[in-house]
Structure 1
Amino acid sequence: MTKWKKDCFIIELKLLIDTWQKDLLLKRFEIARTLYNTTLSYAVKQYTFMQESKHYRKQLRGYQKAKKTNDSKELKQIAKELTNIRQSFGLSEYQLHAYIKKHQHNYKKHIDSNTSQKIASTVWRAVQDVLFKGSKAHFKRYGMFHSVEGKSNKAGIRFKENIVYWNGLILPVRIRKQDLFVKESLALHTIKYCRLVKKVIRGKHTFYVQLVMDGIPPAKRIPSTGAFRHSYQKKQRVGIDIGPSTIAIVSEETVFIQQLAPEVPLLEKQKRRLLRKLDRSRRSTNPNNFKKDGTIKHGVKLRWTYSKKTIKKTKRTSKKNYIERKASYIKEKHGALANKILSLGDEVYIETMHFKGLAKRTKETKTTIQGKFQSKKRFGKSIGNHAPAMLVEIIHQKLGYTKQTIQKVNTITFRASQYNHVTDRYEKKKLHQRWSQIGSHLVQRDLYSAFLLMNSDPNLQQTNQDLCNKTFTTFLALHNQHIEDLKQVKKTFPLSMGIQQIK
């Protein structure tokens, strides 16, 4: 039986704490990290011992043979035997709960049993990836454990009357007076469990509590009037053509194209400048550690000294802090864009995109006319900076609150980038061609693809030509107006939008 996933949402509130409380929380997070690493170390050792077992290896070979022959009866029998073997080596979630309990007793003043069990469950998820996906387990470095959570709101980490209680700590939270969303959520929904989160903001540790609430979140309201902030259109079609860094959206009333999370490249630029500054500082404080050509000396044990400013800036620009800052910015922008899309209509049509495949380097080696090797890079950096898959997931989640889903068309049969509804033919285009000739009109390629997706057949296999003919005149007027508006903006657009080509 598959476990049914219940509806839930998260409220994040800032903790108002004193310096001694912050120090105690930092200590507890480090204890939690120690418990995590200790449990993971035990699980990895047990996994190594299991791999050395002849009986396990024999059953594993038998499972692989049965998988090739599609013998379902034998597969079930061997899978059951493999599960028994894993449990004999202590590799199950509840066995890890029992193991961590022995170590938790040493820190019971700081870490309660519920929290320690959740730490063990996190370890088990990492071990599952090792067991079933062949990935590698990673230990947490000092300061890199960022959240602890309980199992319920009745014991361990608890939230009651705007205060968080945890093993003697009393931590008040900040709730804005005009935050109707938080007030409605707390009044109408029950708290499943609480999670404490540590973030580094401007080089300082800040703590938040995340309340995992049961049910569907209430609609957000405008504080001054109490009216709903987002009014979603029922039974209206919206076509979305999403790329690695841009998105084109077409509905019956609106047409627009824009970059996803446009300010992220600026964060990249800030990071590069700060890293260059740190490198200059390191070279000036450690001149004897570098050769004349500027490279670091090798074969000698080097001692490094750093200025106080460098140490502070290094904390601010650590990889983890940068990734968290970028992710929070992208998530915020995608949430706003998802609300805007759903305000146009609740029937969302999109092509199935495999962004992981687009992010990978190409395997084929190609050369230019001059005989030089072409770069094997594809869209990895763009996808990492703009996270198109995250936007799709947010839209899917928001539609799920009304028991609806995204309509994903068949990419192979649909071919939105090639179809011409006027000639009723498929015409291949090169990637750099950002404009399509549709009849006597020149149309932006991504916007036209979104238009075709909006007019999809119910079977999601191809576009409906009759619908295209009915709605094309309206689309063309909105398209031309939007392109004119973009021309007036004094801004550099990505080359993939093709706006520079018509200026």
Structure 2
Amino acid sequence: MKKRQAASDHTQAPTVRTPTFLLELPLVVNQGQAKRLRAHLEAARQLYNAILSLGQQRLRRMRADPAWQEACALPRAHKGERAAAFSALRKAYGFTEAAMHQAVKGLRVGWIAEHIEAVLAQTLASRAYRALNRVCLGNARRVRFKSRGRGFCSIENKRNDTGLRFVLQLPEKGNAGFLLWNEDRLQALIDWQDEVVCHGLRHRIKYARLLQRPASSKRAAGADAEGNRYCVQLVLEGMPHHKPKHTVGQGVVGADLGPSSLALVPQEGEASLQVFCAELAPEERAIRRLQRQMDRQRRVANPEHYDEKGRLKKQGKKLRWKQSKRYQATRRRKATKERKLAAHRKSLHGRKVHEVMALGKTIILEKISYKAWQKRFGTSVGLRAPGMFVAFLRRTVASTGGTLVEVSTRTTALSQWCHGCGTKVKKPLSQRWHQCECGIGPIQRDLYSAFLAAYLDPTDPLPSCAQYASYWEGAEARLRAAHECLIQRAREGQVLPQSFGLTRAGARLPKSPGELPLEPALHLQDEELEAWADPMEPPLLEHGELSGGALL
């Protein structure tokens, strides 16, 4: 807690930032150039680790000073005094970005100076300082040093007039683009028929960033001898290109995002509840099979690390693992699968963001702690990355002139609130339906939360019964229509998550109109499968009555 208090008092002067977007272009690199680029990146890795180690030592000495504890003990109300105390400590121990820039001059010596210019060294020092400052602020536990051959695949400049820079020829001279670094002149592949590329190259280049990425194989087009390909990222001033096919609506959309689901309810239009990134499931299963294969190969090669029951032995010193060639090949296959899955997930996120923007220009959703989701729903969050999707949505909304409103879950509690009577009843996560004694419901929980968000006043996030009374009659039919679509998809064989509150595809759906579908039913044989002939929502239950007509 003291770390967070100490860090919150460290303020910096505000800087004016212009709108920025990225444009990525592939590079044509021969074997000689690729060898020199790998040497440059290795020098950058060692310099980064050196400045990171020096900054870590300074941070530890600063925290060990009794004045640090005295500054942490100052009252929070005395913001100016606390900020001055922490600022004095940072300057005394050289834990500032300017001090890191000064320290990197003494580290950029010998053969490293032949590969890394002074401006690139400053960017590496700033990168190390940001990592260390997150530890100082309590936002991270430790810094990570970059290992050889893995983990350090990018380097960037601060400006585009010296060192690592991108130049573009005039149209009469060929209209070609080149990335210049030291003595190398790397040609970029520019498709002038692409409207996105043409739009980006018409803007001013702030600086360039070199990226090294693993190719699908060493024989892939553009790959070097180590199986890497290179591209340049141009950081441009201005707004990104907006394709005409991506329409932007003008209404308000309420959204309820879950670890594996996304509910959308616009003020005008059809509501929907769908599995979030459902296309990633087959790739996840393939990765799990490779993980099990790696575990078997590791156990065969290292039997001394496991006891007679197959459990890992507890040893005081670090275990030394033997890696067979087949294990390394399986690990490379798994890495390729994960890289393709990440690219597929990014594509699905972009497609879904444009679908949301087509419904409305103002998006309202609850502000969720995705770190807490990682602890509770780690598998689903790791596969679908809902936090990354919200970040993508936030950038797209800002670039199109829209508004993304994230309301606090503590003040609104949309999943617990009823607009009919204004009461809040805490529901367990297993209860996927909203049904109140005032006559509202039963309505699927995620759809109901998205409806409440759609008509929420952003200036006054506290919901009231009056603001929903005139909209509920028309919205209820749309929510029930979305639920009917879910039932139809379940009949067609699609596997739906339990959070939808429906039985899974291929399972027996409830026949009784008084049976509330909260838990999935047991799977039956093919000849015993039944479905609703006329799927209807269950009526309200009287006090003391169970489903099926029995009384308590």
TM (norm. structure 1) is: 0.83
1:239–1:249 CA contact under 8 A, matched in 2? yes
Q: What corresponds to 1:434 in structure 2? A: 432
Confirm whether residue 456 of structure 1 aligns to residue 456 of structure 2.
yes
**Aligned-pair CA distance for 1:123:** 0.9
Residues 300-449 of structure 1: pairs in structure 2 closer than 5 A: 306-317=323-334, 325-360=340-375, 378-422=376-420, 425-437=423-435, 439=439, 442-449=442-449
2:273–2:482 CA contact under 8 A, matched in 1? no
Confirm whether residue 42 of structure 1 aligns to residue 54 of structure 2.
yes
CA distance in structure 2 between the partners assigned to 1:467 and 1:323 by the alignment: 48
Query: What are the superposed Cα offsets for residues 128-182 of structure 1, whole Å, 9 maximum, x if unpaired?
Result: 1233327322211112212111111211222223221111222222334542111
Confirm whether residue 116 of structure 1 aligns to residue 99 of structure 2.
no
Query: What are the superposed Cα offsets for residues 346-397 of structure 1, whole Å, 9 maximum, x if unpaired?
Result: 111112222223434xxxxxxxxxxxxxxxxx22332232222222222222
Confirm whether residue 14 of structure 1 aligns to residue 20 of structure 2.
no
Q: What corresponds to 2:74 in structure 1? A: 66
Confirm whether residue 469 of structure 1 aligns to residue 467 of structure 2.
no
Q: What corresponds to 1:128 in structure 2? A: 133
- Structure 1 residues 288 and 467 mapped into 2: Cα distance closer, same or farther (>3 Å)? same
> Which of 222, 237, 262 is the matching residue for 2:278?
262
Q: What corresponds to 2:154 in structure 1? A: 147
Which one is further off, 201-210 or 302-311?
Answer: 302-311
CA distance in structure 1 between the partners assigned to 2:309 and 2:281 by the alignment: 31
CA distance in structure 2 between the partners assigned to 1:359 and 1:454 by the alignment: 27
Query: What are the superposed Cα offsets for residues 479-499 of structure 1, whole Å, 9 maximum, x if unpaired?
Result: 255335423543211111223
- Structure 1 residues 109 and 466 mapped into 2: Cα distance closer, same or farther (>3 Å)? same
What number of residue pairs does the alignment pair up? 467
Q: What corresponds to 1:214 in structure 2? A: 237
**Aligned-pair CA distance for 1:80:** 3.7
Residues 21-36 of structure 1: pairs in structure 2 closer than 5 A: 21-36=33-48
- Structure 1 residues 418 and 297 mapped into 2: Cα distance closer, same or farther (>3 Å)? closer
Amino acid at match of 2:117: D
- Structure 1 residues 232 and 213 mapped into 2: Cα distance closer, same or farther (>3 Å)? same
Q: Secondary structure at the match of 1:152?
A: coil
Which one is further off, 440-449 or 163-172?
Answer: 440-449
Confirm whether residue 101 of structure 1 aligns to residue 105 of structure 2.
yes
Amino acid at match of 1:99: A
Q: What corresponds to 1:371 in structure 2? A: none
**Aligned-pair CA distance for 1:76:** 3.9
CA distance in structure 2 between the partners assigned to 1:410 and 1:41 by the alignment: 39
Q: Secondary structure at the match of 1:317?
A: helix
**Aligned-pair CA distance for 1:14:** 2.0
CA-atom RMSD in angstroms = 3.1
1:409–1:461 CA contact under 8 A, matched in 2? no
**Aligned-pair CA distance for 1:103:** 3.6
Amino acid at match of 2:357: L
CA distance in structure 2 between the partners assigned to 1:273 and 1:244 by the alignment: 23
- Structure 1 residues 136 and 270 mapped into 2: Cα distance closer, same or farther (>3 Å)? same
CA distance in structure 2 between the partners assigned to 1:417 and 1:296 by the alignment: 43
CA distance in structure 1 between the partners assigned to 2:452 and 2:419 by the alignment: 8
Which one is further off, 333-342 or 350-359?
Answer: 350-359
1:149–1:196 CA contact under 8 A, matched in 2? yes
2:420–2:440 CA contact under 8 A, matched in 1? no
Q: Secondary structure at the match of 1:500?
A: coil
Q: Answer 1 or 2: higher relative contact order, Cα 8 Å, separation at least 6.
A: 1
**Aligned-pair CA distance for 1:460:** 2.1
CA distance in structure 2 between the partners assigned to 1:37 and 1:242 by the alignment: 39
Query: What are the superposed Cα offsets for residues 251-306 of structure 1, whole Å, 9 maximum, x if unpaired?
Result: 11122112222244444432232233234445556678776655678889998765
2:456–2:463 CA contact under 8 A, matched in 1? yes
> Which of 155, 167, 179 is the matching residue for 1:164?
179
Which one is further off, 171-180 or 160-169?
Answer: 171-180
2:259–2:384 CA contact under 8 A, matched in 1? yes
CA distance in structure 2 between the partners assigned to 1:495 and 1:392 by the alignment: 23
Q: What corresponds to 1:368 in structure 2? A: none
- Structure 1 residues 303 and 231 mapped into 2: Cα distance closer, same or farther (>3 Å)? closer
CA distance in structure 2 between the partners assigned to 1:427 and 1:284 by the alignment: 54
- Structure 1 residues 476 and 65 mapped into 2: Cα distance closer, same or farther (>3 Å)? closer
Q: What corresponds to 1:81 in structure 2? A: 88
2:287–2:338 CA contact under 8 A, matched in 1? no
- Runs of at least 5 residues in structure 2 that lack an aligned partner in the other structure: 1-12, 169-176, 218-226, 510-530, 532-552
1:451–1:475 CA contact under 8 A, matched in 2? no
- Structure 1 residues 309 and 22 mapped into 2: Cα distance closer, same or farther (>3 Å)? farther
Q: Secondary structure at the match of 2:462?
A: coil
- Structure 1 residues 429 and 95 mapped into 2: Cα distance closer, same or farther (>3 Å)? closer
1:418–1:429 CA contact under 8 A, matched in 2? yes
CA distance in structure 2 between the partners assigned to 1:301 and 1:96 by the alignment: 33
**Percent of aligned pairs with the same amino acid:** 30
**Aligned-pair CA distance for 1:215:** 1.5
- Structure 1 residues 241 and 121 mapped into 2: Cα distance closer, same or farther (>3 Å)? same
Confirm whether residue 495 of structure 1 aligns to residue 493 of structure 2.
no
Q: Secondary structure at the match of 1:67?
A: coil
Amino acid at match of 1:261: C
Amino acid at match of 2:96: S
CA distance in structure 2 between the partners assigned to 1:135 and 1:415 by the alignment: 31
Q: What corresponds to 1:373 in structure 2? A: none
CA distance in structure 2 between the partners assigned to 1:480 and 1:273 by the alignment: 34
Query: What are the superposed Cα offsets for residues 379-434 of structure 1, whole Å, 9 maximum, x if unpaired?
Result: 23322322222222222222222454312334334332234445555454332222
Q: What corresponds to 2:206 in structure 1? A: 192
- Structure 1 residues 312 and 114 mapped into 2: Cα distance closer, same or farther (>3 Å)? farther
Amino acid at match of 2:146: K
**Aligned-pair CA distance for 1:34:** 0.7
Amino acid at match of 1:101: K
- Structure 1 residues 242 and 286 mapped into 2: Cα distance closer, same or farther (>3 Å)? closer
